[in-house]
Structure 1
Amino acid sequence: MVVTRTRSPIRSSVGLKAVMAVTGIILVSFLIAHMLGNLKIFTGATSFDHYAHWLREIGTPLLPGVWFLWIMRIGLVVAAVGHIWAATALAVRARAARPVQYAHRKKVQGSYAARTMRWGGVIILLFVIYHLLDLTTGTLNPVGDPGRPYANVVADFAPERWYVTLFYTLAIVTLGFHLRHGLFSALRSLGQQSPRGERRARAVALGFSVALCVGYLVVPFAVLTGLVS
Structure 2
Amino acid sequence: MVVASPPRARAAVPLPPRATRPTPGRSTVALKALMAGTGLLLVGFLLAHMAGNLKIFVGGEAFDHYAHWLRGLGSPVLPETGYLWLQRTVLSLAVVGHIWAATVLTVRAKKARPVRYAHRKPVQGSYAARTMRWGGVIVLAFIVWHILDLTVGAVNPVGDPAHPFANVVADFAPSRWYITAFYALSIILLGFHLRHGVWSALQTLGVSNARRQRALKGVALALAVVLVVGYLSVPFAVMTGLVK
Q: Same fold (TM over 0.5)?
A: yes
Correspondences of 1:9-28 after superposition (within 5 Å): 12-28=27-43
How far apart are 1:6 and its partner, in Å?
2.1
Query: Is 1:38–1:219's contact at 8 Å kept on the other side of the alignment?
Result: yes
Query: Is 2:39–2:201's contact at 8 Å kept on the other side of the alignment?
Result: no
Does residue 105 of structure 2 align to residue 90 of structure 1? yes
Query: Is 2:54–2:230's contact at 8 Å kept on the other side of the alignment?
Result: yes
Q: 1:159 to 1:104 in 2, by over 3 A?
A: closer
Correspondences of 1:168-183 after superposition (within 5 Å): 168-183=183-198
Query: Is 1:10–1:16's contact at 8 Å kept on the other side of the alignment?
Result: no
| Partner amino acid, structure 1, of 2:107 | V
Query: Is 1:188–1:201's contact at 8 Å kept on the other side of the alignment?
Result: no
- Structure 2: tracts of 5 or more residues without a match: 1-14
Does residue 48 of structure 2 align to residue 53 of structure 1? no
**How many equivalent residue pairs?**
228
How far apart are 1:55 and its partner, in Å?
0.5
Correspondences of 1:99-118 after superposition (within 5 Å): 99-118=114-133
- TM-score normalised to structure 2 length: 0.86
- TM-score normalised to structure 1 length: 0.91
Could you give the per-residue CA deviations for residues 79-134 of structure 1, whole angstroms, max 9, x where no partner exists? 00111111222222233333343445423133211221222122112211111111
Q: 1:51 to 1:9 in 2, by over 3 A?
A: farther
Could you give the per-residue CA deviations for residues 119-154 of structure 1, whole angstroms, max 9, x where no partner exists? 212211221111111111222111121110001111
Indicate the structure (1 or 2) with the bigger Cα radius of gyration: 2
Q: 1:170 to 1:105 in 2, by over 3 A?
A: closer
Does residue 217 of structure 2 align to residue 227 of structure 1? no
Query: Is 1:21–1:186's contact at 8 Å kept on the other side of the alignment?
Result: yes
Taking the aligned partners of 1:15 and 1:198, their CA distance within structure 2 comes to: 22
Pick from 188, 195, 215: which aligns with 2:230?
215
**Stretch moving more, 78-87 or 101-110:** 101-110
Correspondences of 1:1-229 after superposition (within 5 Å): 4-7=19-22, 12-189=27-204, 190=206, 192-194=208-210, 197-229=212-244
- Over aligned residue pairs, what C-alpha RMSD do you find? 2.1
How far apart are 1:186 and its partner, in Å?
2.3
Query: Is 2:36–2:200's contact at 8 Å kept on the other side of the alignment?
Result: no
Query: Is 1:124–1:175's contact at 8 Å kept on the other side of the alignment?
Result: yes
Q: 1:49 to 1:9 in 2, by over 3 A?
A: farther
Taking the aligned partners of 1:129 and 1:105, their CA distance within structure 2 comes to: 36
Q: 1:21 to 1:106 in 2, by over 3 A?
A: same
| Partner amino acid, structure 1, of 2:54 | L
| Partner amino acid, structure 2, of 1:17 | K
Q: 1:113 to 1:225 in 2, by over 3 A?
A: same
Q: 1:107 to 1:10 in 2, by over 3 A?
A: closer
**Stretch moving more, 125-134 or 147-156:** 125-134
Taking the aligned partners of 2:181 and 2:203, their CA distance within structure 1 comes to: 33
